[in-house]
Structure 1
Amino acid sequence: MGIVSPIVGVVRFWPAVIVPAVFATLFGPWVGGTGAAIGIFLSDMTYGHQIALLSLFAGVPANFLGFFIVGYLAGRNLEWRHLALGIIGTCVIAVLVGYLYLIGVISVDIMAIFAAMAVISVVTILIAGLKFPRWRGFEVGCVLGLAVGAAWIGVTLVIYSRIFMLPLTFEPFARSAPFYAGVLWMVWTFCSEIPFMILLGPPILEACYNAIPFLRRGRE
């Protein structure tokens, strides 16, 4: 079960995001994407907002797309130039963090935390590219996959709020949420999950490969 953020309602702080990222890398994009989609739906209906339509519109597609991308890129040997994709994705998040601060939606301390997550992402991608090339695909996949999934959540929650009412935990954005609310949900989702994926993923995966060598999928 995720930890509900007091800032953004039921868009949850989710350390367990590392689980579908690992499965997507070990068993491929379809397993990772489908497993994450089913998992978030069950979570939403059990511990979350319990609105099936909202989950199917926002959470399920976001998780499928995000972890499909992780699994797809993690299985590829990327070159140096491909690292730019991950860095650009992180820079976009950093720009959105600055936008939220400038319009007064987040305080300077929250901005600093979000910005730190973006910096950690860039540094990790660069280290992976320089020292551990076998993890380039995984690190870039995590950044791009999570960015796409987070963007889907931000956009669809705003759209949903224009048609239906979001749960009251989304107040004051339960009805007709403004554009910046979608940006906030996107940034929160990305920044609260990316550290677990890019930092914990490689050591967990390495342990899995050492325990079950045939899962390595030709990474060497």
Structure 2
Amino acid sequence: MRTLDVAATALNAALYAVTGYIIYVFLPITTPGIGIVRFWPNVVIPAVFTVLFGPLVGGFGAAVGIFISDVLIHGDPLLSLSAGVTSNFLGFYLIGYVSKKNMDWTKLVAVSSIGCLVISLSSLLTVSYVALPQVVENRLMSQLDFDKLMEGINPVVNGLNLFTAIIVAVFIITMLIGHLWVEMRNYVIGSIIGLGLGSAIIGLVVWAYSQVFILPSVVGGGFQLPLYATVLWFIWTFATEIPFLVLIGPPIIKVCEQAFPSLKTRKE
């Protein structure tokens, strides 16, 4: 990495950490029902850096920034290293990597359309053939036991419905941006891929961590949480962060490239 890259990485990390901490202080919102994963709209910061300065700057800056903010907020460095650092590095590295690639937009549209349809149908089938039969088959149990059953089913059903709606909305927005803003096509696709991977890592690793260690109480706590928590964390992370990446990222990147033309040259 060159001197400029090192400086950009440090700035990326500092902005990411500071804004994340400030956001949590004023908006201490976490995953509904199970906590832990925070509302994190400042993902747009490393996304901009990874496009302008390259995948390593975006990935390393995000990894360092999330570690600092995690330690300041919940004080569990091991949880941050296992879930936060890995997901942020890989996610933002992918965004930067895909943004630099020449991709066939027609094929991407076709694949995205199929993927959107598959996700929507999968969500519908899950609700129809997994959740609903549970409700019907167990309706004769005591009211207390039935209420406990519903406490486990409702978050998953609501989460799947929200995720499906978000996926459809993101698909529509992606198509619009790709049509109206050709140079941002790869960035939007990269954001979906990178955030999808990062969200999956967070969901799986935090759940696995909870099987061995107690999660930080300051952000919700918990121990040996059920497997469906993985789905909720994935949905929450993706659904609450993708709008900021695809709606706010492109105009900021465009303004930066216009203000500093050399950044656009570096990207190409």
TM-score, scaled to structure 2: 0.72
Residues 1:53 and 2:101 are matched in the alignment: no
**2:248 and 2:235 mapped to 1: Cα distance?**
20
Please provide the CA RMSD for this pair.
2.7
Q: Describe the superposition over 1:52-92 as per-residue Cα deviations: whole angstroms up to 9, x where unpaired.
A: 10100110000001000001011123212134555566667
The letter of the residue matching 1:202 is P
The equivalences for 1:66-215 within 5 A come to: 66-80=91-105, 81-84=107-110, 99=126, 103=131, 104-106=153-155, 113-168=162-217, 169-171=219-221, 174-215=222-263
Q: Describe the superposition over 1:165-207 as per-residue Cα deviations: whole angstroms up to 9, x where unpaired.
A: 1123445xx2212221011001100000000000111111110
Structure with higher helix content: 2
* Count, aligned residues: 217
Q: Describe the superposition over 1:70-115 as per-residue Cα deviations: whole angstroms up to 9, x where unpaired.
A: 0101112321213455556666765676658964232877665544
**1:44 and 1:89 mapped to 2: Cα distance?**
33
Instruction: Please state whether the residue corresponding to 1:12 is helix, strand or coil.
Output: coil
**1:92 and 1:140 mapped to 2: Cα distance?**
17
- TM-superposed CA distance for 1:19, in Å, is 0.4
Structure showing greater radius of gyration is 2
Question: Structure 1: 5+ residue runs without aligned partners?
Answer: none
Instruction: Please state whether the residue corresponding to 1:158 is helix, strand or coil.
Output: helix
The letter of the residue matching 1:143 is I
Could you say which residue in structure 1 is the equivalent of 2:36? 10
C-alpha distance 192-90 of structure 1, shift in aligned 2 (>3 A) = farther
C-alpha distance 89-132 of structure 1, shift in aligned 2 (>3 A) = same
